[in-house]
Amino acid sequence: MTRSMALAFFLPALFLTTSLAQNPAPQKEPSRFLIRAGRLIDPKGGRVLQDQGVKVVGNRIEAIGPYNQVANPADKSFSLIDLSKATVLPGLIDAHTHVLLQGDITQEEYDEQILKESTPFRTIRATVAARIAVNNGFTAIRDLETEGAMYADVDVKRAINRGIIPGPRMFCATRAFAPTGMYPVMGYSWELKMPEGVQIVDGPDNIRKAVREQVKYGADWIKFYSDRRYYIKDGALHSKVNFTPEELQAMVGESHRLDRKVAAHAMGKEGITAALDAGADTIEHGDGLDEELMDRMIKKGVYWCPTIYVGVWVADGRGKLWQDMRDLEAKAFGLAVKKGVKIAYGTDAGGYPWTENQAKEFAYMVKYGMTTMQAIQSATTVAAELLDAQADIGTIEAGKFADIVAVAGDPLADITELEKVKFVMKNGEIIKNEMK
């Protein structure tokens, strides 16, 4: 038998075992739940509905409406979940996390994780981060790079999707890009070959290949670091741009060609400008946004993930510049809300420890100028659109995934209620219920 014939015989068998391995559980009857919601927040309509019924069959919402219309007392096939004293809302979405990071105010704390912790050890910790996220009501996250842990985010996602561990739906960026010399680990002897916190890439061809590689290994998003070396001049935040325009065109062009959207870490005016010029889809952090840049974002439909809380968390430990950035972002945020920039909820959880509830971002958004409803929309409808997943998540509507959370009080009156999520259903499964 020739070599090619042997391959031809071998390949179908390989596909067969792979497809079987992905569906190990035998088919079982889909679960059927009827949720009675005392109050239900509809972020799409910007309204609150009273005494609603939500029917869940398997992992999808089958029907929603006034409880008395949806509930059929003769039909005993649905298990009742009584949330009549609670406020029910769509599962929350955090569009900027790092499950493979555990907080890094200082360079030493970052290096400690990269240099002393193996990728398996960090991945074990990531499974805990994923469990914390979903328990806090975040049923979907966009995880924006592994900080040197290669493609371990894709493994965490796979373990969640196979039901091995609890966790949110994950949209993974894998390794992120920066050019030589523009990302830690840095500052060690040149005689040492140090690990990198990102995938280091230089030159358009190298970058195109690297995009293809990340997509091959499971990247849902491409992330790059647009700038570094931040400084304040005339009261505005500036930065040095990392990549040349040719490099960025290659990166964004190849990503879009492969149907992957691009997230740009961009903090200073120059970094944000370069990212927008190149066609990035989301601006991460964006502390240095000014009115002109906001207008460009609105025109191009680019989203902003401000990640306020991490900026507050690290500011005092990193000195004056980071304190200034924190304060500039507060001002930019208020203006962006007034102008109508699409602001998606993103926390940078992992940039601060996972023991801090990532719902703390909400209180800052409200303090800086959003209504409580706008803050909830940022973590539901707006974040779902950023992910191009609005057909499946972001609202409680018939046909969508049953990703549903509840709190005891009224988050529209007090947004910090969202730091105390009492009920979580993800994909039709009850993750926790403290409302019983």
The number of residues that bind Zn ion (CB under 5 A) is 1
CB 326 to Zn ion: min, Å: 15
Tell me whether residue 173 or residue 421 sits nearer to Zn ion (CB atom).
Answer: 173
**Residue 98 beta carbon to Zn ion: minimum distance, rounded to whole angstroms:** 6
Answer whether the bond into residue 382 is a cis peptide, omega within 30°: no
* Residue 62 or 348 having the CB closest to Zn ion: 348
What is the x/- site pattern for Zn ion, positions 77-96, by CB under 5 A?
Answer: --------------------
In the range 288-327, which residues lie near Zn ion by CB under 5 A? none
| Residue keyed to tokens 């460009």 | 296
Shortest CB 421 distance to Zn ion, Å: 23
Q: What are the φ and ψ backbone dihedral angles of 403, each rounded to 5 degrees?
A: -110, 105
Beta-carbon neighbour count of residue 318 at 10 Å? Answer: 16
How far, in Å, CA of 235 to CA of 329, rounded? 12
**Residue 340-379 contact track with Zn ion, rule CB under 5 A, x = bound:** --------x-------------------------------
Distance of closest approach, residue 97 Cβ to Zn ion, in angstroms: 8
Taking the least distance from each CB to Zn ion, the nearer of 123 and 372 is 123
Closer to Zn ion by Cβ: residue 228 or 422: 228
Instruction: Provide the minimum distance between the beta carbon of 166 and Zn ion in the complex, in angstroms, as a whole number.
Output: 23
Q: Which residues of 25-37 are buried (b: 16+ CB within 10 A; e: fewer)?
A: eeeeeeebbbbbb
Closer CB to Zn ion, 141 or 336, in the complex: 141
Strand partners, 349: 97, 352
Q: How far is the CB of 337 from Zn ion (least distance, A)?
A: 22
Residue nearest to Zn ion as judged by C-beta position: 348
SS3 393: coil
Residues with Cβ within 8 Å of 428's Cβ and at least 6 positions away in sequence, in order, are: 30, 31, 33, 56, 57, 58, 59, 60, 401, 402
Please give the residues from 21 up to 40 whose contact with Zn ion meets the rule CB under 5 A: none
Coil, strand or helix: which one is 64? strand
Question: Tokens at residue 358, please?
Answer: 């990532």
Cβ atoms 142, 171 nearer than 8 A: yes
Nearest-approach distance from CB 142 to Zn ion, in angstroms? 10
Question: In the complex with Zn ion, which residue's Cβ is closer, 348 or 361?
Answer: 348
Kindly state the tokens that stand for 97: 């996390």
Tell me whether residue 254 or residue 348 sits nearer to Zn ion (CB atom).
348
Neighbours of 105 (CB within 10 A): 18
| Site of interaction with Zn ion (CB under 5 A) | 348
